[in-house]
Amino acid sequence: MLFAFGRSEGRYFIANGKQNDWKGIPQSLSPHLREDYYVLQAIAFGEHDVWFYRDAPRTGHEGTCKLSPSVAVHYPRVHEICQSGESVNWVAFGPDGKYVVDTDKKLHHTDDGLVRKYKESGNQVPLRSASYGHDGAWVVVEDDGTVRSQGLSEKVKTALDKKPVRNAQLSGYSSSNFFIEYVDGDTDWNLPSTWHENIRKVEKMTVRLDEPGTKGEKTVKQKIIFAFGPKDYQYCISNGSRAHWYGMSDAMAERLRRPGKMEAFSRGENGACFWRQGDSTWLSDGTKMAYPEVWRIWNTGEKINWVAFGSQGYYIIDTKDSLYASRKETILRRYKESGKYVPLRCASFGYGGAWVVVENDGDIRSWGLSESVLAKLKVGSVRNVQLSQTDPDYCYVEYISQASDYSLPKSWHEHVKDIEGNLPKPKTS
C-alpha cells in the first residue's frame, strides 16, 4: 500500500498496485498520474506544491524518479541528490525545507535527531520510512522495526504500538490524522470522514476464484523452477540440476552455481532473494529491509519451503508447518471446520500488485491478473505459476500433466527450452 498526505489540508494520494485515488494534488502532477500504465513505488508531497514520485520498472522502462520544478527552489538539496546519479528510493518532505532522502548510497537528511548512527561502525542506521507531521512532529521506522518519534499524539502512538510497522505517514495539518501499514500488510488509519469510502475502495481486493479443468494431486513439487526479477531483463530457470539466469547479483549467482538440486529460488525488490537446496536456505542481505517479516521468520530457524515476494513489502511464505502472508485473510483461505489455512502449491506476485495462489486441490485464487494470464491458468491443473514483476502479460505456467506454457521475451525462449527439455505444451481451448 502506498499513501501520502499533502502538506495542505484536504490532500492525499493512495495506491494499491494499479488501483489508486487522490484528492487536491498539484496540477503539475496530474498529467503524470492520469497515464494509466504508471504503477508507483514511492510518492511524497512538500510545501509550495512540491512533489516527488518513483514509478515501478516495466517492460522497456527501468523505472524513474520525477520531481516538480519547484523542488529546486524550495528543497534545493533534494533536487541535487536526485540529479547526482544516486538511485533514490523514497523522499520525505517536511516544513521549512526539511527532508529525508533514502538512496542506494546513503540517507540524506536535515535533522540529526531523525537518523542515528551505529556506535561501533559509525554508519547510519537505515530507515524503512520517515514522515514529518503537524507542529514539529516526526516519526521514523528503522531497519529493525524500531520506531522513533517526536511530538506524536496518543492516538498515533497507540496505533504504532499495535504490531511491527513497515511505513508510517503523518498529516502535516492535523496531529490526529495518520496512515500506518504494518509489515503483515494490514493498515490502520485515522482520516477525514469524507475520504473513507474512496480509501476503502482502493484497499479492497475482489478475489477471483477459478477451478481447474482437471483436479490434480494434492501434494506436488515443482519440476521447473522459474523466477522473474524486479527488472525486465532479470530471470532464472532451473530443472533442479541445471540452471540458466540473467541479471543476478554475484551472491545470487554463487547459490545458483552450487552443485546439487536447487528446490526453490525467488527474487524481490531492492535486492531481496530466497534460495533453498534441501534443508539449506539463504536470504540475501537486501531482504532484511525490503521484507522484514520474511527476514524475521527465517531467523527463527523455521524451515521455509518457498517465498513469494511482491511489491510494497508483500510476501507469502510456505514453511513446513505454517503459511504466512501479507493481508492473509484476503489472500489465503481457511478450512471451515478447523480454521487452518488451506495449503498452497505455489504463489506469485506480479506487476501492479497482481497476485495468484494455487491451493493444494488446484483451486486458483487471484487478483489483478490479465486476461492472457487467466487463459493459461484455465487450461488444466496448475503445478506452478510465476508472474512477471514488470509486465502484466508475461508469465510461466507448469501443469500437473508436466506440460508448460509461457509468455516471455523472445530472447529468453532458447534458454527456457534448453532447461525444460522436452516438456509438452498444453492443448489450449
Q: What is the model's pLDDT at position 32?
A: 83
Sign of CA dihedral 398, 295, 87, 30: positive
CB contact set of 76 (below 8 Å; sequence gap of 6+): none
Name the residue with cell 475520504: 195
Amino acid 278 reads G
pLDDT band (50, 70, 90) for residue 59: confident
Q: What is the model's pLDDT at position 35?
A: 61
Q: What is the model's pLDDT at position 423?
A: 64
Rounded alpha-carbon distances, angstroms, from residue 322 to 9, 234, 241, 268 = 44, 30, 28, 21
Report DSSP letters for 328-356, one per residue: HHHHS-B-TTT-PBPPEEEEEE-GGG-EE
Lowest-confidence segment of 211-225, 248-262, 293-307, 331-345 by average pLDDT: 211-225
Rounded alpha-carbon distances, angstroms, from residue 9 to 5, 23, 33, 98, 174 = 9, 10, 20, 19, 8
Question: Is pLDDT of 91 > 80?
Answer: yes
* C-beta of residue 88 within 8 angstroms of C-beta of residue 65: yes
Residue 363, number of CB atoms within 10 A of its CB: 18
Dihedral angle of Cα 221, 225, 229, 235, to the nearest 10 degrees: -170
Amino acid 179 reads F
Using DSSP bridges, classify how beta strands 187-190 and 208-210 pair: parallel, antiparallel or unpaired. Answer: unpaired
pLDDT tens, residue by residue, 194-221 = 999 999 999 998 898 887 655 555 455 5
Share of the chain above pLDDT 70, in %: 95
Question: Average pLDDT in the 223-249 region?
Answer: 93
Question: Is pLDDT of 129 > 60?
Answer: yes
As a whole number of Å, the CA-based R_g of the chain is 22
pLDDT tens, residue by residue, 306-320 = 999 999 999 999 998
Helix (H) or strand (E) segment spanning residue 246:
strand 243-246
Residue 168: beta bridge partners?
180
Amino acid 282 reads W
Question: Is pLDDT of 302 > 90?
Answer: yes
* CA–CA separation, 185 and 167 (whole Å): 10
Exposure class string for 379-393: b at 16+ Cβ within 10 A, else e: bbbbbbbbbbbbbbb
Q: What is the model's pLDDT at position 208?
A: 86
Give start and end residues of each alpha helix (H) in 83-230: 154-160, 196-203
Question: Average pLDDT in the 65-72 region?
Answer: 93
* C-beta of residue 134 within 8 angstroms of C-beta of residue 172: yes
Lowest-confidence segment of 130-134, 209-213, 334-338 by average pLDDT: 209-213
CB contact set of 351 (below 8 Å; sequence gap of 6+): 39, 56, 58, 387, 388, 389, 390, 391, 392
Q: Output the average pLDDT for the chain.
A: 91
pLDDT band (50, 70, 90) for residue 359: very high
Report DSSP letters for 201-218, one per residue: HHH----EEE--SS---S
* CA–CA separation, 109 and 148 (whole Å): 15
Question: Average pLDDT in the 332-342 region?
Answer: 93
* C-beta of residue 143 within 8 angstroms of C-beta of residue 289: yes
* CA–CA separation, 254 and 249 (whole Å): 9
Helix (H) or strand (E) segment spanning residue 90:
strand 88-93
The alpha carbon of 222 is separated from its chain's Cα centroid by a whole number of angstroms, namely: 24
Question: Is pLDDT of 429 > 50?
Answer: no
Exposure class string for 49-61: b at 16+ Cβ within 10 A, else e: bbbbbbbbbbeee
* Cell triple for 4: 501520502
Helix (H) or strand (E) segment spanning residue 308:
strand 304-309
Lowest-confidence segment of 29-43, 63-77, 322-336 by average pLDDT: 29-43
pLDDT band (50, 70, 90) for residue 102: very high
Question: Is pLDDT of 106 > 70?
Answer: yes
Q: What is the model's pLDDT at position 367?
A: 95
* CA–CA separation, 296 and 143 (whole Å): 12
Question: Average pLDDT in the 269-283 region?
Answer: 95
* Cell triple for 13: 494520494
Question: Higher confidence at residue 8 or residue 368?
Answer: 368
Question: Is pLDDT of 289 > 80?
Answer: yes
Question: Is pLDDT of 228 > 50?
Answer: yes
pTM of model > 0.75: yes
Amino acid 233 reads Y
